Amino acid sequence: MFCGSFLEKSQNGATLTPQKPLYSMKHLIFVLLCCLTVCPVAAQSTFEHPFFNHPFFQDDFFHFDNQQTAQFPGGEAAFEQYLIDNLHYPRAAKRHHVEGVVVVQFTVAKDGSIVRPSIKQPLGHGCDEEALRVVQKMPRWRPALRYSQAVEATYYMPISFQPIISESKAAFKGGTEALNRYLAQHIVYPTDAIYEGMEGTVMVSFWVTKSGKVKRPNIHRSLYPSLDVEALKVVKKMPHWIPATRNKKRVSQHCVMPIVFKLPKTKRILM
C-alpha cells in the first residue's frame, strides 16, 4: 500500500500577444522553482496543490510506473489460505478472551526470503509470538522489482486474532492492486511535509460494517500531523468494501491499514 498521488493539469486561460516574449521558457521555469523553494509558505497559499503533485512530476522521471511490489506465491487468495492453515489462536489469548490485531514488519529480500521480522503493534498473551512464527514460516515471495531488477522491500502485515475466525475477511473491491491504485489517485502529499522531508507510515484503524461501509477511522500510529490528516481523509472517502463473513453471515470487522508516504529521491535536487 503506497502513497503519493498526482493531480490533473489545470489550464491557463491567459493569451499571448505576438510580440517577442521578454523571458524564455527556461527563465520562467527557473523563476518558478526559485519562488517555490525560497518561499514555501507563500507557495502553499498561492497554489492550490502541493508542488510535487504538479503534473510535471507524473513524468517517468520519477519511475513510479517501473516498479512492482513483492507478492506472496499464488497471490492474495493463497495468502489467506496460508493463514487459515497455519495461524493458531494461542491458549492464553483464548483464556483471557483477547482478540485484536498484531502488526508485523518484515522485509522481502532480493531472493524472496523473509528477513528481519519484528512486531510493530503487539497484542500479548502469545499472539505476538504466534504472528512472528507464521511470518517466519512463510514460503519465499516473488521479490519486488524496480526496472526488472529484484530489490529489497519492507512491508507491514496486520494479523488478526479472533476467537471465531471469519470465513472471509473484509476486503477492498478489486483486491490489493485496486486499493493501491485508489491510494495513488487520491492521496495528496502535504506541502509542509515535503519541505520538512517527512516520510514514513501512518497506521489507520477503522471498521468495515456489515454493509461494507468504512466507519470510525482513527490514527492507530501517528507519523506527522499533516500526514495523519491526509491518511484519515483518504480512508474516510474510501468506497464500500466487501464485508467480512462469519458462518456465512455478514459481520462488522475491525481493520488496521498502513499508509506509506515516500518522497522521491529527486526532490533533493530541486529543493
Residues paired with residue 15 on neighbouring β-strands, in sequence order: none
What is the CATH number assigned to the segment(s) 66-165? 3.30.2420
Q: Which residues contact 145 (CB under 8 A, 6 or more apart)?
A: 67, 68, 151
Asked whether 197 and 224 are in contact (CB, 8 A), the reply is: no
**Topology agreement, domain 66-165 and domain 166-271:** yes
Give residue 164's pLDDT band: very low, low, confident or very high (50, 70, 90): low
- Ranges 63-67, 96-100, 251-255: which has the least confidence: 63-67
Please say if the pLDDT value at position 104 is more than 80: yes
Write down the pTM of the prediction: 0.44
What is the CATH number assigned to the segment(s) 166-271? 3.30.2420.10
Task: Compute the average pLDDT of residues 126-133.
Answer: 96
Residues paired with residue 244 on neighbouring β-strands, in sequence order: 251
Residue carrying C-alpha cell 485484536: 100
- pLDDT for 178 equals 93
**Domains of the chain: which residue ranges?**
25-65, 66-165, 166-271
Task: Compute the average pLDDT of residues 80-99.
Answer: 89
Cell of 124: 500479548
Q: Which residues contact 2 (CB under 8 A, 6 or more apart)?
A: 69, 180, 183, 184, 260, 262
